[in-house]
A and B are shown apart, each in its own frame.
Chain A
Amino acid sequence: MDHYSLVKDCLKGKPSAQKQLYELFASPMLNVCYRYTKSMADAEDVLQEGFVKVFRHLHQFKFEGELGGWIRRIMVTTAINYLKKNARYQTDLLFPDDHLHVVNNEQHPEIKMQARELANLIRQLPPGYQTIFNLYAVEGFNHVEIGKMLGIRESTSRSQYARARALLIQWIEQKNNDNKISAYAK
C-alpha cells in the first residue's frame, strides 16, 4: 500500500492501517528518539508520544513532502519538548558555558565504529550538546533554525555545537586508539 492510501485509511480510522503506518516508521523513528535521549525507556516514551501526535495531526499532512520526513520532524520536536519537560534533562539544557574546549573544526577523524557505538557516544554528551549535535550533524538544521527551535541565540547554538563536536571527536579518537591497542595486543 502506498503512503497516500495508507494515510487516507488512517484518517478513516482503520486500525489495520494505523498499525501498518506504525510498523513502517517505528524503527527509523526509534533511532531518532534514541539519539536524543539517555535511555531506551525514554526513547520509547518519546516514540509513543510522537506517534500519538502523528495520528492526531495526520489530517494536516498535505502530501507536499515525504511522509517519513514529516513524521521525523514531529519526532524531533517531541524529543526536544520531552527533554525540556523532563527534570533529568533540565539542568544541562541550560547550555552552560563552563566546559570550554579548544575547538578545531578542521578535524575529521575517520569513524570506524559501529552505528550503535557512535550513537551511544553521542548519547554520552551533555543533553544540551547532544541535542544541538543531533539537530545540526544528523538532522541537517542550521544554527539559525536550531536557535529558534530551542529558543537560544544562533551564536550560542554555534558555540555549543563546536564544543559538542570537539568532545565527540576526542572520544572517537580515543576509541579508535583503544581499538588499535586491543588489535595490537591480539
Chain B
Amino acid sequence: MQNNFEKQVSSKMEELDLVPSAPVWEKIELQIRRKKDRRRIFFWIPLALVLTGAITWLSINNISSTSNAEQVRMNEEETKTQMNASQGKSSNNQDGHTVIDVPGDLNAEKHVAEKKSDVKQFKEASMEGSIKKEKSSQGSQGKLGSASSVKTRIETNGIVENNQRKKEVVSINDDASIPKNRRQVQGKNDQVSSVRVEVTIEDSSGSIADSVARDSIVLADVPGINNVVGEKAILLAKAKKSKWEFGITAGAGISGEGKGIRLGTNENLDFQNVGSFPTVNSNTNGSVTNNQVHFNLGVLIKKQLNSRFEFISGIGYHYYSSKRKVGNYISQDTITPGGALVSGYYQNYGVQTKEVTNSYHMLSIPVLLSWKVSQKLPVHLQFGFAYQRLIASDVYQFDKQTVIYFKDHGSLNQNQLMANLNVGYTFKMNRTSLFVGPSLQFGLTTVNPRENKSLYALGVQAQLFFNK
C-alpha cells in the first residue's frame, strides 16, 4: 500500500509537464498511413491474382483462336475443292457466305443439324433418317483447339429455323420431293428444293470442353457430303464456347500452426517451465501446438482454359484449429504486449496445466489452376493460392518477454496468403462432376507474428460442379 512518500512522489509526477517535439507526430502519422497502405496491398493481391489469371487465360485463348481460324479456313478450302471436283457448283453469296450446291437425290431427312437448342427443333421437324449422335474424337478436339461457339442455321425451302451470325454457310440444293409426312411440318411447302445448313463460328474466346460435342448430330449417310460437311459440322460443333461452371466445395482434415508442418503428436518439448518460475530473460518459446480439426465450405466457379487446364475460383469459409498447453490462469485486466486490454491470461507455469484450443475463422478466395495430369484418366492436379481474411479468432498467443499466453485478435495477421495443392480423381456423372482427393494448404504469411507461426492444413477435398 502506498504511504505518504509514494503519494508525494505520485502527486509531484502529475505536475510534470513535458511537450514532445514536432517530429514525433510526423513519425506516428507516417506509420499509421503505412499500415493502411499495407492493408490496401493485401486487398489488391487477390485482385492482381485474378487479373493475372484472366490475362493468362486470354493469352492462351488467343493462340487457340488463331489456330482454330486457320483450321476452319483450311477445311473450307478443302470443302470447295471436293465439291467442285464432284461437279457441284460452288459460289460465294452476297453476304460472303460460302455456298456449295450438292447435286443428287438428297432427301430432307438427310441433312445436318447441330446444337443442343436446335436439336429438338430439328427432331420435331421429323428429320428422320440416320441422324446419329457422335461423341467428340480426341483428334478433332486437338485440331480445333479452343474456338468459341458454333451455331447452325437450317433453311429448308427458304424457311429459316435459326438465324445466327455466320462466317460460313454450306448450302445443299436439292430438287427431291419431300415425303408427305414432312409436309405437315414444313407447312405451306409441299416440296423442298433446297436445304441450307449454315454453320457459324463466333470468333470469341472459348475452348472445347469434353461435354461440348455430346449433342453434335451429323448425318452419316448423306452422299457426297458426309465426309465433308458432316465432318466439318462435328469439328465446328466441338468448337463451342466453354462456359463457367458453378460448384460447391467442402473439405475436412487436420490443421495446425507452426514454422513448418508438424504431423506428430505433442511432446511438449518447449513447455519446460511447468512448475517453476521463469526468469525475466527466459528463452522459452511457449508450448507446442497440436494439430486439430480443419474444415471448409464454399462455392466455386470453373472455366475450361484448354483441353488440359481449368481455372477455378470462388469464395469459402475455412476453420483451422490447434491445441496447446498453458499454465495458471490469472483473472486480471491486463494490457497485452500488443497493447490490447484483456481480462485475463495464462502463465507459462503452474501446478496443473490445461489444454486450450486455438481457432481461426477465415474467409477465403482461392485462385487455382487445375491441370489434367493424364489424357486417359480424369486425374487433376490443382494448384494456386488463396487470399484469406481472418474474420474471427480464439487464439492464445505466447509472449516471450512477459512469458504469458493471452488472446489478442488485433495482433494476429488479419490477411493471409495460402498456397493450395489438391490432387484428385474426377467422377463424371449425368450433369455433375465430382472431384475428390487429398489437399494441402500452407500459409505463406505468418498468422501469429509474435511466435512467427503460419497455418497449415491437410485433408480431403471434394468439389461438385454442375454442368449446364
Give chain A's interface residues, CB within 8 Å of chain B: 13, 15, 18-19, 22, 26-27, 30-31, 34-35, 40, 43-44, 47-48, 50-57, 59-62, 70, 73-74, 76-78, 81, 84, 93-95, 105, 107-111, 113, 115-116, 118-119, 122, 136-138, 140, 145, 148-153, 165, 169
A138 to B16, CA, bound (A): 12
Do A18 and B29 touch across chains, with their CB atoms under 8 A apart?
yes
User: Can you give 8 contacting A-B residue pairs, CB < 8 Å?
Assistant: A26-B24, A44-B21, A54-B339, A105-B3, A108-B8, A118-B13, A138-B9, A145-B332
Do A84 and B28 touch across chains, with their CB atoms under 8 A apart?
no
CB distance from B372 to the nearest CB of A (A): 46
A78 to B332, CA, bound (A): 19
A119 to B18, CA, bound (A): 11
Contact mask for chain B residues 248-282; partner A; CB cutoff 8 A; 1 contact, 0 none: 00000000000000000000000000000111111
**Partner of A118 from B2, B12, B335 at Cβ < 8 Å:** B12
A5 to B338, CA, bound (A): 24
Dominant secondary structure of chain B at its interface with chain A: mixed
Do A27 and B2 touch across chains, with their CB atoms under 8 A apart?
no
Q: Which residue of A lies closest to B342 (CB)?
A: A60
Give chain B's interface residues, CB within 8 Å of chain A: 2-6, 8-10, 12-21, 24-25, 27-29, 31-32, 35-36, 277-282, 330, 332, 334-341, 347, 401-404, 410-411
Q: Which residue of A lies closest to B23 (CB)?
A: A44
Do B6 and A136 touch across chains, with their CB atoms under 8 A apart?
yes
Do A148 and B404 touch across chains, with their CB atoms under 8 A apart?
yes
Do B6 and A48 touch across chains, with their CB atoms under 8 A apart?
no
Do A53 and B29 touch across chains, with their CB atoms under 8 A apart?
no
Do B18 and A27 touch across chains, with their CB atoms under 8 A apart?
yes
Q: Which residues of A lie under 8 Å from residue B35 when comparing CB positions? A: 56
Q: Which residue of B lies closest to A161 (CB)?
A: B6
A31 to B17, CA, bound (A): 7
A110 to B12, CA, bound (A): 11
**Partner of B339 from A35, A47, A77 at Cβ < 8 Å:** A77
Do B25 and A108 touch across chains, with their CB atoms under 8 A apart?
no
Q: Decide yes or no: A30 and B401 within 8 Å by CB, A77-B337, A118-B12, A138-B9 being known contacts.
A: no
A137 to B11, CA, bound (A): 10
A122 to B335, CA, bound (A): 24
Dominant secondary structure of chain A at its interface with chain B: helix
Do B16 and A15 touch across chains, with their CB atoms under 8 A apart?
no
Q: Which residues of B lie under 8 Å from residue A55 when comparing CB positions? A: 28, 32
The listed residue with most B CB atoms (<10 A of its CB), out of A19, A30, A165, is A30
Do B13 and A107 touch across chains, with their CB atoms under 8 A apart?
no
Q: Decide yes or no: A57 and B9 within 8 Å by CB, A77-B335, A151-B403 being known contacts.
A: no
The listed residue with most B CB atoms (<10 A of its CB), out of A26, A54, A115, is A115
A52 to B338, CA, bound (A): 11
**Partner of A119 from B10, B16, B330, B332 at Cβ < 8 Å:** B16
Do B13 and A115 touch across chains, with their CB atoms under 8 A apart?
yes
CB distance from B441 to the nearest CB of A (A): 28
Q: Which residue of A lies closest to B402 (CB)?
A: A151
A149 to B333, CA, bound (A): 12
Do A110 and B8 touch across chains, with their CB atoms under 8 A apart?
yes
**Partner of B280 from A78, A93, A109, A136 at Cβ < 8 Å:** A93
Q: Decide yes or no: A109 and B16 within 8 Å by CB, A48-B28, A54-B339, A73-B341 being known contacts.
A: no
Given A52-B28, A78-B339, A118-B13, 10 extra CB contacts under 8 A: A31-B13, A56-B410, A60-B341, A81-B401, A108-B4, A109-B5, A115-B16, A136-B2, A137-B5, A148-B347
The listed residue with most B CB atoms (<10 A of its CB), out of A13, A19, A81, is A81
A111 to B18, CA, bound (A): 20
Do A111 and B32 touch across chains, with their CB atoms under 8 A apart?
no
A138 to B14, CA, bound (A): 9
CB distance from A122 to the nearest CB of B (A): 8
A63 to B13, CA, bound (A): 26
Q: Which residue of A lies closest to B28 (CB)?
A: A51
A106 to B386, CA, bound (A): 65
A75 to B93, CA, bound (A): 85
**Partner of B13 from A62, A119, A152 at Cβ < 8 Å:** A119
Do A138 and B10 touch across chains, with their CB atoms under 8 A apart?
yes
Q: Which residues of B lie under 8 Å from residue A47 when comparing CB positions? A: 20, 24
Do B401 and A52 touch across chains, with their CB atoms under 8 A apart?
no
A94 to B335, CA, bound (A): 22
A170 to B24, CA, bound (A): 36
Do B5 and A35 touch across chains, with their CB atoms under 8 A apart?
no
A47 to B23, CA, bound (A): 12
Q: Which residue of A lies closest to B409 (CB)?
A: A60
A70 to B339, CA, bound (A): 9
A43 to B16, CA, bound (A): 14
Do B32 and A57 touch across chains, with their CB atoms under 8 A apart?
no
A135 to B337, CA, bound (A): 16
Do B2 and A57 touch across chains, with their CB atoms under 8 A apart?
no
CB distance from A22 to the nearest CB of B (A): 6
A108 to B5, CA, bound (A): 5
Q: Decide yes or no: A57 and B28 within 8 Å by CB, A44-B21, A115-B16 being known contacts.
A: no
**Partner of A108 from B3, B279, B403 at Cβ < 8 Å:** B3
Do A27 and B10 touch across chains, with their CB atoms under 8 A apart?
no
CB distance from A159 to the nearest CB of B (A): 15
CB distance from B326 to the nearest CB of A (A): 14
CB distance from A144 to the nearest CB of B (A): 9
Q: Decide yes or no: A61 and B4 within 8 Å by CB, A18-B32, A52-B32 being known contacts.
A: no
Q: Which residues of B lie under 8 Å from residue A52 when comparing CB positions? A: 28, 31-32
Q: Which residues of B lie under 8 Å from residue A60 when comparing CB positions? A: 339-341, 410
Q: Which residues of B lie under 8 Å from residue A27 when comparing CB positions? A: 17-20
Q: Decide yes or no: A137 and B29 within 8 Å by CB, A26-B24, A44-B21, A116-B16 being known contacts.
A: no
A173 to B404, CA, bound (A): 40
A113 to B2, CA, bound (A): 20
Do A151 and B282 touch across chains, with their CB atoms under 8 A apart?
yes
Q: Decide yes or no: A34 and B25 within 8 Å by CB, A56-B35, A60-B340, A111-B8 being known contacts.
A: no
